[in-house]
Amino acid sequence: MAAKNITIIPATKMMHTGLPRNAAVKKRVAGYARVSTDSEEQQTSYEAQVDYYTKYIQSKPEWTFVKVYTDEGISALNTKHRDGFNEMIADALDGKIDLIVTKSVSRFARNTVDSLTTVRKLKEKGIEVYFEKEGIATLDSKGELLITIMSSLAQEESRSISENVTWGQRKRFADGKVSVAYGKFLGYCKGADGIMEIVPEEAETVRSIYRQFIQGKTTNAIAASLTRNGVPTPGGKEKWQATTIESILTNEKYKGSALLQKKFTTNFLTKKMKPNEGEVPQFYVENSHPAIICPEEWDRVQNEMLRRKATGRHQNSLSPFSAKLICGDCGEYYGSKVWHSNSKYRRTIWQCNGKFKGVEKCRTPHLYEDDIKAMFLKAVSELMIDREALIDDGRVLHTAFTDFNAIDKEVAEITSEIDVLSGLVQKLVDENASTTLDQTEYRSRYDGYIDRYDKAKKRLAALQEQRQLQELKGDILSGFLFELGELYDLPMVFKDETWNALVDHVTVHKGGRVVFTFKNGTEVTEML
């Protein structure tokens, strides 16, 4: 048998580009520069990188300079919001770039997945990335292994930085140091010593918002009023939203306190935030800065907010009668209607919103606003007959509402039980990890602890809700007693403030019988 004759046929094209090996084609080269903060020091580094890569690429006769792509003040954790980086990759994949030169793996990406995905996409198109610091060329046979190792190290570096930043933030929280986004925070600016400082003009707007809410106006109505009066929003816009008003009304910083770490970062790579529901510690700092709203008024607003939500009444009207008048036939609220809107006989009337919804229409009458006001003044005059007795009875009832001794005692006991159960669960898990336990017994004990823990948590939530409800009732009654105590003479003129402070709701029955239910539970009947 004749010996095998093997002839080697040399490669004539380059593997990744498909170009002839001996072709004298200049590589189209781009640089990539990035710094991750906006500080002045980093700005100098940024400009130096751009200048360096421009000169470096232009100095190579075998290279054609494309451009230096840049990202300034952006983290490298992922490539989602890096416009310069994304533009560069798009241009490369479109065939405009053959080689990308950058300082290091950590400048390119600190996320292993992003880095390798991008490198592989480029590699498929024959596009090379060269990392100067590490001396890595991605089209080299060792390139991908080195990239994987270096990216992993860079990712761990990023994790360490993230954890250090988080630790620093929590240390500031634990020290009671408060900071806010002053550009969008109404009423405060950053003082010379770093402590929140009151802006008088803006503070008056905040006080007005709280005052209007206590007087019975809705968040929608307050927003409409501020927009109409040309008051700028915290963000400098013209139109106010109800959600902005609610945010101001519920922000504890306006009473001089601060709840810190309301949100936290769940993943150092995605930077995704979520509300803190007990996963990480929170810090409540009292008297952290000057208050715009006194704590008593702030608490009163929170209780009023809860009361409105608890009743389920959607107060979207500028009128004090909104969500106060109830149909005695179907239970629907009364709504306002305008009669003869384009004539001199124009009048606003209130009638049942569900009057024509059912098979049989409601037989309750419509009401004119002047009649509602007149009946209210008459009902208050009847209330005034037993004014002193009502005040005395109300004080006794208020004392009962605000006696939290029994609730607080049970809360303390259950909180202690929860702590003990948490410790037992942790101890059991540690024991199972370090020794060989019977898994059936382990599961039984574990489930038993968790069941007791869940029941304790539910009971604690119920007690906290009960306490909050009692506080709410006490606050409502306190407002009623205060207003009644101020009425030494019969009111001659209808006032929104008096109506809102005294009336819980009004039920309109067929035949013109109107029942006023006051906030202490007293009912007074008037006839239309």
Number of residues written out for the chain:
528
Residues pairing with 72 in the sheet: 35
Q: How far is 479 from 394, CA to CA, in rounded Å?
A: 11
CATH 1.10.287 location in the chain: 325-527
DSSP string of 350-382, one letter each residue? EEETTTTTSSS---PPPEEHHHHHHHHHHHHHH
Q: What are phi and psi of 404, to 5 degrees?
A: -105, 10
Q: Let me know how many helices (H) and strands (E) the chain has, helices first.
A: 14, 18
Q: Beginning with the edge strand found earlier in the chain, give each strand of the sheet holding 347-352 in spatial order.
A: 334-339, 347-352, 367-368
The whole-chain average pLDDT of the chain stands at 78
Q: How far is 391 from 482, CA to CA, in rounded Å?
A: 9
CATH 3.90.1750.20 location in the chain: 182-311
CATH for 182-311?
A: 3.90.1750.20
Q: Does domain 27-165 have CATH number 3.40.50.1390?
A: yes
CATH 3.40.50.1390 location in the chain: 27-165
What pTM value is reported for the model?
A: 0.45
pLDDT of 517:
94
3-state SS assignment for residue 188: strand
Which conformational region is residue 340 in: left (phi greater than 0), alpha (psi within -120 to 50 degrees), or beta? left
CATH for 325-527?
A: 1.10.287
pLDDT tens profile 227-241: 999 999 988 889 999
For the chain, the farthest-separated pair of C-alpha atoms sits apart, in whole angstroms, at 131
pLDDT of 513:
95
Our measurement of the distance from residue 411's CA atom to the centroid of its chain's CA atoms, rounded to an integer in Å, reads: 28
Which ranges of the chain have pLDDT less than 70?
1-24, 35-45, 73-81, 109-114, 116-117, 141-183, 215-216, 260-284, 310-318, 340-341, 433, 436
Is residue 50 within a helix (H) or strand (E), and if so which, with residue range?
A: helix 40-58
pLDDT tens profile 253-268: 888 877 765 554 544 3
